[in-house]
Structure 1
């Protein structure tokens, strides 16, 4: 007895009509198919994905084409994966490699191939890289776009209009006339800063300041957590350190760090939360040059924990759940591929506090 086809009759008919038109025209755009078949973009993309998995069509940028002779000869040419997820991150040398490793682990668990691309914090428009990923026929996009540039909202609207599942990494955004949220996975950076401040206050520090790297998109969340913890614990931050410093590689960073230390000494500040690791390390080195002891004269907690534990003294640090962020994003994309009608999910994951040698009770 043959196994009954579990697909609905409308779905079978629609895919048959798609194949008929493709045999006639050779290449079709998704927009053409939505009009001709009277179905939504999401439905058409799902049909194309199913037909591609059966080796009957191949995906091209913006549409679908007949498979090549070589592909017809070797239906397993794409390997054992059931689909592909494109991932665009702003750096491949700091923070994001751990995220990418977590994403790759999760992708293999759900039989997806991860296609990784690196952008840049200096790049104002992420769309050229995103177009390349779409051209490769990915089934979903996981993106950490620049949100502080004039093109940001155009990129978000473009992502929302691709018809592909989209998951934002360490970013949140809305699109469309109703400001609908895109799916996202983020670290609760404010909670991480809150934990750090509470730890310092628990040690007896009553003046806890903050030093933040200007270019970081994490900066406003860390500052918010610092303010919330201080307010909740009854600590006044108006007479302490609240400093912005340039990137540690900048020639102006040393001057900005000196100003932060001068402010700490003038206000009696005994502890600082510093984002990110490079700036925290540069601050400790400047303390040593000025004969200030860490943690004797000044306790310091770093935020990021990329290399904080390797320094001497080993820096107490807040560690974002980088690997878990990548894993959760892929799982979210896979669930959306499997069920395009599911409600929008926005996931927030808590960081952890790693206690090391750079904090003590105040003198």
Structure 2
């Protein structure tokens, strides 16, 4: 028998009061009703001042106790640490900030310069200043740099969530909460789109200086190897400075490879490199999309290209929001490690067509 509305709403209040912020989809599953029904309930409860609404999340009226964070120094703040010149992650920062500020917490953003190990002294300083929690996206230009950071990050001593990073299983960070995009699925979206258009000779031009880049390269290789209809494929570095350091793979002439190998479809990571490589193709007389279809990966500025680029868009802002929600859960005393993956989406524009 269907549960009365007033009973269901009391259950919602009980769950939120006991656990803190809860996703609307999780409430719907727990109450065995539709998401639409829960949203309607939450809307009514919010209008009555009994809960607060967020982006797909319902929160208690009283925010996580901010301990009256003072305006000076970093005491009481939640720290966000992201790499310098990493536009991709700035959308995640905005998503996290919305959630944290709505919960009554002060947010302090810290930019790590492009130097190996730059994050550790920053984290040491903000922890000494009294930060309550940490959202961090280490640069990790190489697998070695990533391994070197595991131990000290695991000893941070405050609730910590890794943003767009997935540490190695069994590592010291395996028990730390993390939120990232499912880049394997993102690669599959791109490859399936190109295959559906009849492309059988596909090239990936990608960076190799971040966990995202390494995940994308590995996913692409595994996906195309498993597809018998793919006649030729390859992976090249997308720019001279896109590797982790000296000794990175050489950058071959991209347009020359496309022409000589008869490549008709390419996946390009990230957006800036994609726009430049499209320009390189056009300068060599290779038309996009008539001669070569292009899919970009990131979708920060891909839509501004000429033609606008079909692109895979990781859910950047949602990654930040979910990371902030996990941090709020930890600050409220929640236990149990959460390793969340969110699915990218493909936006088809004018840079792909059938062969």
SS of the residue 1:225 aligns to: helix
Out of 195-204 and 117-126, give the one that drifted further. Answer: 117-126
1:50-65 correspondence to structure 2 within 5 Å? 53=67
Residue 259 (structure 1) aligned with residue 253 (structure 2)? yes
Counterpart of 1:355 (choices 337, 348, 351) is 348
Q: 1:333 to 1:203 in 2, by over 3 A?
A: same
Residue 136 (structure 1) aligned with residue 129 (structure 2)? yes
1:247-275 C-alpha deviation (Å, 9 max, x unpaired): 5799xxxxx77623222222221100011
Partner of 2:246: none
Partner of 1:11: none
Partner of 2:120: 127
SS of the residue 2:253 aligns to: helix
Residue 112 (structure 1) aligned with residue 109 (structure 2)? no
Query: How many residues were matched structurally?
Result: 285
Q: 1:184 to 1:123 in 2, by over 3 A?
A: same
Shift of 1:120: 2.6
Equivalents in 2 of 1:217, 1:143: separation in Å? 13
SS of the residue 2:95 aligns to: helix
8 A Cα contact 1:156 1:175, kept in partner: no
TM-score normalised by the chain length of structure 2 = 0.72
Partner of 1:215: 209
SS of the residue 2:188 aligns to: helix
Q: 1:77 to 1:220 in 2, by over 3 A?
A: closer
Residue 303 (structure 1) aligned with residue 282 (structure 2)? no
Equivalents in 2 of 1:246, 1:120: separation in Å? 20
Q: 1:350 to 1:169 in 2, by over 3 A?
A: same
8 A Cα contact 1:103 1:114, kept in partner: no
Residue 276 (structure 1) aligned with residue 270 (structure 2)? yes
Residue 317 (structure 1) aligned with residue 311 (structure 2)? yes
Residue 337 (structure 1) aligned with residue 331 (structure 2)? yes
Q: 1:139 to 1:355 in 2, by over 3 A?
A: same
Partner of 1:94: 87
Partner of 1:326: 320
8 A Cα contact 2:190 2:346, kept in partner: yes
SS of the residue 2:156 aligns to: coil
SS of the residue 1:306 aligns to: coil
Equivalents in 2 of 1:324, 1:84: separation in Å? 21
Q: 1:77 to 1:260 in 2, by over 3 A?
A: closer
1:289-343 C-alpha deviation (Å, 9 max, x unpaired): 1111000000011111111101111011111111111111111111011125x11
Shift of 1:76: 7.9
Shift of 1:113: 1.4
Equivalents in 2 of 1:232, 1:176: separation in Å? 28
Q: 1:306 to 1:265 in 2, by over 3 A?
A: same
8 A Cα contact 1:101 1:323, kept in partner: yes
1:199-242 C-alpha deviation (Å, 9 max, x unpaired): 110111111211112334322211233233324442336x3332
